[in-house]
Structure 1
């Protein structure tokens, strides 16, 4: 079969663009096309629960609403993320924002109370509001439930928010669990530590495994959307170990495989650990998730709406 050269025309839609990538069928274009087809099939499978793994600065990087909408419309059954993404969701829920176009003079930024994440910026005054608000929420939650799992804590936090665009609030309202096994490694975790200076609590990480395991075994098939790597990726895949792994997964990562790191490992490697089923449908796309996932998702949704067929 020949590699066909892509034909880009004026006014073409995203689904048509992805079809042209599929006509080429190789390298990154081919991977984006295959990932789109797989994601479409995952979303369209009523017997499949989709776990979404989110690592890296995706909330400050402009993907907050995308993740929130996937929860709101029932596409994903669980979110596994870093504490940092939860922190940044809360930052905006409390009235803060993420900014751009401040430049790269980091010493000057520090003097002006601005923190930098690549070319995304935060203001110290927004974090001051975050700290004050989250401490009040902690007081309400822990006074009633001093022994609580991480997932339960995040769920309870959602009940104290009134921002309709919040990931945490939307998950609370829709009953979608959020797991953050590395929550302590974040500003949210730092605020938990600050709270324990005057209060005794038990944040039970092991308890999360009970509810996550119940979720895994209550569905016929498990799919995964893995954006970035690290702890959220491993927690997502390892949660399916006792059932022989995921049935399908799309991974978007910038990391390389040569060092043996989990973040850069091809999904096929998970088969050797029974974290992906034999015969599972797996696609890895190398690139920036903030650029690629919106395109892949838009293509999959367009196909589901009948814009472009197989």
Structure 2
């Protein structure tokens, strides 16, 4: 039998890795990881795919699950925003909330994952695995800052009758830029400055959601009323989130711009981004192939049915990707290890891109989506 019939041997020959004390990130990825197997090979593929997204000027979305900012991931996100490598973001409320600690120099420290949590609680120390956050000096202080900035935006009539979470975070970011000691350390501030929309579809499931929900109570305390006044609510609309995110994808489609996504973990941010294709095709009825390129960095298993572990190829049946097995890769790695390497590889190998400024274009492109949808009825 001809052993080359199926091209089994077309892959690189594996050799013992050659490390060098002066290696760059690019050399580590291209000369070491790319010649290995397992998740080192997948990580190299992810680095190369992210570079391809940027080189083709794709509209790139970053989805961010869990709580990555307390361990400092926000610094890498800021750099990706500044270089024009990320055009829009979908994340959890936790990441936006903890991101702001650094702008206001509120205490966040390395800790011990084996600590006595009863003892920590007695000393007002909040633990996120091996990260310590001060209840009073950080969390309570942050809550008051968010409430103050949001209340001022309400007083200044900055919120329209209906608005998305992207609009809320644009407004909050403007407040951070004006009041924080170190706004350059906040990705929310950087996103606002560079017109990168930040969607938080689980807005209510966060300390920011809790803090803004308290504002009507504070307003009624001043008035002496026990009935909440709708004008005091700061209530981002899920409908606007769905329409504006779909509009970003639709805008890329009509201008023949490729679309790519780097998914950090899974959860709601992953699904919210990936539902944009089905929103356009399944609900509106216009053809949409989904995302051209997808990278997911996760440690979750696919066989339990949880979305965080769902393979990208599974999304083909939903219309979330054009073709299974092409243009996507999943390195099964801790995101705090894999994502900084992907970011660093891009910084070494890609030129800065012109900002797409999708944030300021959201009203216009949403109207275009609605117009196209009505013509399709």
Shorter-normalised TM range: over 0.9
Counting only pairs closer than 5 Å after superposition, residues 16-55 of structure 1 correspond to structure 2 as: 16-19=27-30, 20-24=32-36, 26-46=37-57, 48-55=58-65
Match of 2:241 in 1: 208
Q: Contact between 1:5 and 1:23, CA under 8 Å: does it hold in 2?
A: no
The one of 235, 245, 254 aligned to 2:272: 235
Distance in 1, matches of 2:111 and 2:273, equals 35
Counting only pairs closer than 5 Å after superposition, residues 64-143 of structure 1 correspond to structure 2 as: 64-102=74-112, 104-124=115-135, 125-143=137-155
Aligned-residue offset at 1:146: 6.2
Work out the number of aligned pairs and report it.
303
Aligned-residue offset at 1:106: 0.6
**CA 1:80–1:68: 2 relative to 1, 3 Å:** same
SS at match of 2:316: helix
Distance in 1, matches of 2:90 and 2:188, equals 12
What is the TM-score when the length of structure 2 is the normalising length?
0.77
The one of 343, 346, 365 aligned to 1:297: 343
Q: Contact between 1:51 and 1:80, CA under 8 Å: does it hold in 2?
A: yes
Distance in 1, matches of 2:19 and 2:175, equals 48
**CA 1:203–1:304: 2 relative to 1, 3 Å:** closer
Structure 2, unaligned runs of 5 or more: 1-8, 178-182, 221-228, 281-287, 352-377
Distance in 2, matches of 1:185 and 1:217, equals 28
Q: Contact between 1:226 and 1:249, CA under 8 Å: does it hold in 2?
A: yes
Match of 1:308 in 2: none
Q: Contact between 1:151 and 1:179, CA under 8 Å: does it hold in 2?
A: yes
SS at match of 1:9: coil
Higher strand share: 1
Match of 1:158 in 2: 173
Pair member with larger Rg: 2
CA RMSD of aligned residues (A): 1.6
Distance in 1, matches of 2:35 and 2:105, equals 45
Structure 1, unaligned runs of 5 or more: 306-310
